[in-house]
Chain A
Amino acid sequence: MITANAIFSGGIGGFLLVIFYAVFTQNAVLSRGLGSSRLTKLIGDDEKDAWLFAVLLLIIQVLCGTVGWMANRWLVPLFGSFRTHLRPLILALSICTVFFLMFLLSVQLFNLEKARRIVRQLPIAAFNCCIMGTMLLTCSQQYSFGQTVAFSIGSAVGYMLSLLLMQAGSRKLDRSQIPESFRGLPTTLVYLGILSLVFYGLIGHSLAV
């Protein structure tokens, strides 16, 4: 099994390899199911809003990864044997810091209408299982700073890739052919399961027999 620690030996090549590893081998949605509740809702949303959400997720993911890495390295060890229980609280506080930073930046940098659209998506993008899951993964695997940034980028890009594939599939679906009770969430989940199988085939996961 390839791990980020094994492939990251420094340099831009290693950095890109960790991103590749996070997008395909450890895809947040298709390999770990992270952020799937929100993803299933995005399929029915306006495409512009869905992509605004995805871009926000990418920025927040990288910022949270950075802040979370610092908190996990310097703050969490202070709590000794109780650190396992306190880590999620410290990471949640890191997310809140990034959330407030993004809120201030959107209000300062954009006009009222754009800022409103961003602020509407901000809590959904920040308090998302994909963000927290990636932070927990990078902390538990004790990634270096470079690995954390690369893994965060890869995780968000992996989420975007899943969204792209889901939207493409959704556009091609002939809804009139789908039984009524399967329309919407059930079809999306079945499609997600098939996509996940495609990814397993691509990267060579063995079935848990």
Chain B
Amino acid sequence: MIEKLKSYYAIHMERLEHRDRIFINNPVVMQGLGLVPIVAVGTNMKNACVMALAVLLLLTPTRVLAALFSRSTQFRFKAVAYCISAATVYVLVSWLLLDVFKLPSQTIGLYLPLLVTEPLVIKRYAHTSQESVTKAVTKGLITTAGFLIVLFISAALREIIGAGTFFGKTLFKTAPIPYLSMIGGGFILVGILIALWRNLVHGFKREVHKR
């Protein structure tokens, strides 16, 4: 399985370096996008699940709507199209999460509406090229997947090491490093996680290039 994957990457490396948003070109690890939800909200798995659902419902529709809007928008004003699209989609997402699914949003607070200006959701405006609707759908879904992986890894580690629990169930009587439950600790953990991830990517690329 791993050998097959390696040979696939060896053949398609150049293309995958741009398109693979999950491992090689992960939006959080390589571009530093989506740091606010990961660091401020991803302190435990329950919060991470609510945030994940919000991003899943928001990111791709925003890109699609913005791709349609920004066709008639000048490059300098594309940011407006992306932000308004995100805020419009957010109205529906917020209604679904809070009124229909009745998810607990108190712990997330202002970070849920903050997704409207989150670079992960709207940063596509900085590209000069026009995005087609099909590309917006595929790239939106892949970017969401890449973000969710880092969010869940970080939230799981922070809950276990920072609070000594996992999904609220106690694993340790005392939390090993309580500082990880705070924003500062989140920065440190995500920094280390990114360094390890980048190390893995470099190692993987070296291995593939050897072939």
A residues lining the B interface (CB < 8 Å):
30-38, 40-41, 82, 84-89, 91-93, 95-96, 99-100, 103, 119, 122-124, 126-129, 131-133, 136-137, 140, 179-182, 185-190, 192-197, 199-200, 205, 207-209
Chain B residues lying within 8 Å of A129, measured Cβ to Cβ, are 36, 114, 117-119
Instruction: Decide if B171 is an interface residue (CB 8 Å cutoff).
Output: no
**Interface of A, helix, strand, loop or mixed by DSSP:** helix
Which of B13-21, B64-72, B135-143, B176-184 touches A?
A: B176-184
**Interface of B, helix, strand, loop or mixed by DSSP:** helix
A92-B87, A196-B182 known; 15 other A-B pairs, CB under 8 Å? A33-B35, A89-B88, A122-B76, A123-B126, A129-B118, A133-B110, A181-B196, A186-B191, A186-B194, A188-B191, A189-B190, A192-B187, A193-B188, A193-B189, A199-B184
A190-B192 in contact (CB<8A): yes
Chain B residues lying within 8 Å of A33, measured Cβ to Cβ, are 35-36, 39-40, 183, 186-187
B residues lining the A interface (CB < 8 Å):
32-36, 39-40, 76, 78-80, 82-84, 86-88, 90-91, 94-95, 98-99, 109-110, 113-114, 116-120, 122, 125-126, 162-163, 175, 178-179, 181-192, 194-196, 198-199, 202
B80-A37 in contact (CB<8A): no
Q: Which residue of A lies closest to B197 (CB)?
A: A181
| A36-B187, A37-B33, A133-B110 known; A89+B192 contact, CB < 8 A | no
Chain B residues lying within 8 Å of A182, measured Cβ to Cβ, are 191, 195
Chain A residues lying within 8 Å of B116, measured Cβ to Cβ, are 88-89, 92, 132
User: B85 to nearest A CB, angstroms?
Assistant: 10
